[in-house]
Structure 1
Amino acid sequence: MSRAQVPRPDRKPLIALVDRANRALQSDMVRRAHADGHAEVKMAHNSVFGTLHAGGARAADMAARAGITRQSMGEVIRDMVALDLLEMRADPNDGRAKVVDYSEHGLAVAGDGFQYLIDLERRFEEEFGEREYAIARDVLERLIELLEKGQPSSSAGGSVG
Structure 2
Amino acid sequence: MRLFSVLALLFALSGPAFAVDPSERLADPALEARARQISEELRCLVCQNQSIDASDAQLAKDLRVIVRERITAGDSDDQVRDFLVDRYGEFVLLRPRAHGVGLLLWVLPLALLLVAGGGLFIAFRRRTASPEAERLSPEEEAALKALSREDDGRANI
- TM-score for both structures, normalised by structure 2: 0.25
Higher Rg of the two aligned structures: 2
Structure (1 or 2) with the greater strand fraction: 1
TM-score, structure 1 length as denominator? 0.25
